[in-house]
A and B are shown apart, each in its own frame.
Chain A
Amino acid sequence: MVRKRILLVDDSETSLMMARMILSKANYEILVAKDGQQGVETAARERPDLVLLDVVMPRMNGFEACAALKARPETQGIPVIMVTTRGEGESVESGFSAGASDYVTKPVNGLELLTKVRSALGD
């Protein structure tokens, strides 16, 4: 069976390691990018099944990266889950406006992340 690929975009090595541990255990293949710009480029090149996008990042923040992904024909169909530090309305609203399908808040809860990832991937 082909493993689904998830692109993690986050500038925090700690957050990346945590998300990688949770998702690898559930048999997903993990790709990594360290900022929004790199995330958009990697998504266009690798065409992952899902993108997990941190909000606060250098070069291009998560909302801008999400909007860029949705503007490009080759990546616009890829579901995006925003990973926000603040779960308040404004952050969430900005994520959905940029085209995100869902969001999770940090600190990431493993079960919540897996549930939302599976739902976004239709697993």
Chain B
Amino acid sequence: MTTKGEHDSLESYVRRVQADTHRYVHDLLDENGKLRVAAATLQLEKARLEEELLATRESVDRHKLEEVKLERRLAEIAAENRRYVEEYVLVEQQNTALANLYVASVRLHSSLQREEILAVIIDIIEFLVGCEEVAVFEVKDGRLAIATSKGAEALAGADIALGEGPIGRTALTGQPYLPVAPGVDDDGITACFPVKFRDAVVYVITLFRLLPQKSGRLQPIDHDLLNLLAAEAGTALASASILSASPVQTR
């Protein structure tokens, strides 16, 4: 049996515990609510970040793709550029070749005096072909004698029979002579080109040593030039001969 005092004290204790418990539960619920909100916020944030990450990844992928495309385009442009440079070089080479031919043709027909035309031939071979030793032989009475030369003075007085050696053979056959191996032959000759008038060989241009920058061999452009000389010089020299024999001479 409890006394009234003890009963009151017990009841008061129970009420206090109930109140504490109630407050505790309330606090827990309150805290739980806050945590739920925080968790939901974090979930939202996570979802947003995941979305952002996905977008960023897609953007990175797009940029990587774009980079690959740009690199490919860059390589294409570089290749195109190289092609243009090569074409430009080729066009300039062709321009130089055409200019060479034009200049040679104009210069050959710039005079009607035999000596001047011969000087022009030497000039063309020296400065447009790049040969420092050259001689032009005239075919006369079945033999060849030097008409003019530069750097080949040792040949002065040379008297070659038709068919004799590369120079004589060029005069006889009317075919250019080029050594089997590019460069000079045993006679020091780089090339012989016949100068013709009406299919008859009237002169033979003989190239001995080329300038050092020519690397010892004629280029295709040189052959074009020498072929033009072979054709045009004959006409120019024949015209000069006809004029010199004519009573009316014009300078």
Contact = CB atoms under 8 A, between A and B. Distances in A.
Interface of A: 12-15, 17-18, 21-22, 25, 85-88, 105-111, 114
Interface residues of B, number: 25
B93 interface: yes
A85 B127 CA distance: 8
Which 7 residue pairs of A and B lie closest in terms of their CB atoms, listed nearest first?
A110-B96, A111-B92, A107-B130, A14-B123, A21-B99, A87-B213, A17-B103
Contacts of B95: 22, 25, 110
A18 B95 CA distance: 11
Contact of B128 (A87, A88, A107): A107
A88 B212 contact: yes
Nearest to B219: A107
Contacts of A21: 99, 102-103
Contacts, number: 68
Interface string B97-134: 00110111011001000000000100110111110100
The DSSP consensus for interface residues of chain B is helix
A109 B96 contact: yes
A110 B92 contact: yes
Contacts of B243: none
A15 B99 contact: no
Given A12-B123, A22-B99, A111-B93, A105 B213 contact: yes
Contacts of B93: 109-111
Given A85-B211, A111-B92, A114-B92, 19 more contacts: A13-B107, A14-B104, A14-B107, A14-B124, A17-B103, A17-B107, A18-B127, A18-B128, A85-B132, A86-B211, A86-B213, A87-B212, A105-B211, A107-B100, A108-B96, A110-B93, A110-B96, A111-B89, A111-B96
A8 B19 CA distance: 116
A14 B99 contact: no
A41 B234 CA distance: 40
A113 to B, nearest CB: 9
B92 A106 contact: no
18 contacts: A13-B110, A14-B103, A14-B120, A14-B128, A17-B107, A18-B128, A21-B99, A22-B99, A85-B127, A86-B211, A86-B213, A106-B126, A106-B211, A107-B127, A107-B211, A108-B96, A111-B89, A111-B96
Interface in B188-219: 211-213
Contacts of A105: 211, 213
A86 B131 CA distance: 10
Of A14, A88, A108, the most chain B CB neighbours within 10 A belong to: A14
B27 to A, nearest CB: 86
A88 B95 CA distance: 27
Contacts of B102: 21
A39 B195 CA distance: 36
A12 B121 CA distance: 12
A107 B101 CA distance: 13
B210 to A, nearest CB: 10
Contacts of A88: 212
A12 B107 CA distance: 11
Contacts of A25: 95
Nearest to B93: A111
Contacts of A87: 211-213
A17 B197 CA distance: 26
